[in-house]
Amino acid sequence: MGDFSINKFFNWGFDAFLNTSEHPMIFTEYTFWIFFLLVLSGYSLIYNKIRLRSIFLLLVSLYFYFKTSGFFFSILLFSTVLDFFLGKAIYNSKKELNAKVLLGFSIASNLLILIYFKYAYFFADSFNSIIGSNWQPINHFALLTNQATGSSFRVDQILLPVGISFYTFQTMSYSIDIFRKKLTPVNNIFDFGFYVSFFPQLVAGPIVRASEFIPQIQKPYSVSKKDFGTALFWILNGLLKKFLLADYIAVNFVDRVFDNPGMFSGFENLMALYGYSLQVYADFSGYTDIAIGIALILGFRLPKNFNSPYKADNCGEFWKRWHISLSSWLKDYLYIPMGGNRGGSIFSYVTLSLIVLFVYLISGSLALLFGLLSVIFLTLLFGELFPKFNKWYLTNINIMLTMLIGGLWHGASWNFVLWGGLNGLGIVIYKLWKKISPWKDKFTWLSKIWGIIITFNFVTFTRIWFRTGSINSWDQMDESHNIISEWFTANEILNQLFFNFQWNLAFEVLSVYKNVFIVIGIGFLIHFIPEKWKKRYREAFATSSVVIQLLIGFMAVFFMYQIASTSLQPFIYFQF
């Protein structure tokens, strides 16, 4: 009997830590925390040896990604090796033309890999609908892996590698910054590999700039007692956001409404939208809070990714507070190179052409393509006739293009195109309003509150298309976008909001889902607590005794797992 138990234990250990899982190793599962404790045990022996520390964390990060994505870790290795050597070649180029060619090769290689995995089915469907063929893409990476290792990965299905959008953007920014002379290349491939694959932020960000992270690699380990307390606070804060807010709201209300919006009144759809705004914030910011805390324990500082975004009083400010690492990446590597607020450029028109092509492929409609081209031509003509209009649209075209690209970054779907376009439109309209507003020079608390209310409701409204275009369960992670279904689901929500609101059911809905709405109310109340108050209780926790910190931690974890849903929800941004 004893032998059987030992064998069973070792079989469990093999399955849990050596085989790939059906879904990523995530912060809300006990296997991750066992993994992290083992990492800390090994780390405690070598943390003061800088080179050995980088190699150790690189190896555990690659193991983590292997557990998360199986053979896809070879793509991570490919991107790492490619950009490491291209970065050196760009830096050592004597001629600017050679450096530009190498940079172009780096960007093209990374984007082609990203497009292959993220949009292969989309392009195949578009290609087939346009010419009437039945071509299906093959997973060439799985095919090569099978041939090289004798494995049996499926070649008839292209799955999206978790985190590919995040680490691809990191390696691209590395090459671009070297070309811009803002960064010198890393001398050691282990250091660069560690930067690209650092496991806390590998699969869902934040996107880390090489210029911010790589200098930390060469510094001695330094974590004070207060740093440890701060790290523990962020980990607990993120877990509480995920379990008590995001998952509770999703399982008990939001998912039910969005799964079949036509079965619920417009009032219920509206409440689900408000709930989803809190859910997606708590889910994503919760992940980055945990990532920041884990990294800090290991001695590394990750950038802040959220800054109370629903306190924003206009759309431009919202995007300075929401997913800051992506917003700033798009600004520095897309918006400014296109010309920023100075006007359009050749890059702007190339980007516009690609977006038009993408929209045509989504729709497969020549009539729509003709309509888009006609609008562009008439806009250019109108601009030539009216110089003031020409200046206005040239200074705003780059905002719209950046937000549309941001939408397409999330997925090849009409819903994401419209979501990105609406957010861009919100920024442009606010810029116009700011110029003509009679209150532009008269700041009052009333105008600030009014701006926050309008911005929050506008952002929440755009989430109709974001939520219906998103994947919301582990089973759906391996599926491509059903753009027709997503589009009609969004339209069904609009229909319920505008034509079947049913105010008379409001009291009954609030009564039935009383606990959910109390949680939503508490969540928003915490969100709007002044930042100086939040800083006080963070510091109070961070400077308290270790005994008190651990006691609060154990109580919080016990409470979270008592109310956790039976099936753990994926982090929303894993799909991107």
Do 62 and 197 form a contact (C-beta atoms < 8 A)?
yes
What is the per-residue DSSP string for 279-332?
HHHHHHHHHHHHHHHHHHHTT-PPPP--S-GGG-SSHHHHHHHSSHHHHHHHII
Alpha helices by DSSP H, 437-475: 445-468
- Residue 523, pLDDT score: 94
Amino acid 68 reads T
Please give the Cα distance from 516 to 252 (Å, whole number).
7
Q: Residue 153: what pLDDT?
A: 55
Helices (H) and strands (E) in the chain, counts: 26, 0
Q: How many Å apart are CA 528 and CA 76, to the nearest integer? A: 39
Confidence (pLDDT) at 133? 61
Domain ranges of the chain: 21-221
Cα-atom radius of gyration of the chain, to the nearest Å?
A: 25
pLDDT tens over the chain, length 576 residues: 444 455 544 444 445 445 554 556 778 788 888 889 999 999 999 988 888 999 999 999 988 888 777 667 778 888 899 999 999 999 998 888 888 899 888 888 888 888 877 776 666 666 666 666 666 666 666 666 666 655 555 554 556 677 788 888 888 889 999 998 888 888 889 999 999 888 888 877 788 888 889 889 888 888 889 999 999 999 999 999 998 898 899 989 999 999 899 999 999 999 999 999 999 999 999 999 999 999 999 999 999 999 999 999 999 999 999 999 989 888 888 888 887 777 767 878 888 888 888 777 766 677 888 888 888 888 888 877 777 777 777 778 888 888 888 888 887 777 888 899 999 999 988 888 887 776 666 667 788 888 899 999 999 999 999 888 776 655 555 555 566 777 788 899 999 999 999 898 889 999 999 999 999 999 999 999 998 999 999 999 989 888 898 898 888 888 877 776 555 677 777 666
What DSSP string runs through 25-76?
A: --TTSHHHHHHHHHHHHHHHHHTT-HHHHHHHHHHHHHHHHHHHHGGGHHHH
Query: Running DSSP on this structure, what letter comes out for residue 246?
Result: I
Write down the pLDDT at residue 477: 54
Taken as a whole, the chain contains a residue count of: 576
244 near 563, Cβ under 8 Å? yes
This prediction has a pTM of 0.86
The C-alpha atoms of residue 130 and residue 134 are separated, in whole angstroms, by 11
First to last CA, the chain: 47
Query: Residue 562 corresponds to which tokens in the numbers above?
Result: 């008592």
Residues 511 and 85: their CA atoms lie apart, in Å, by: 62
- 469 vs 122: CA distance, rounded Å: 14
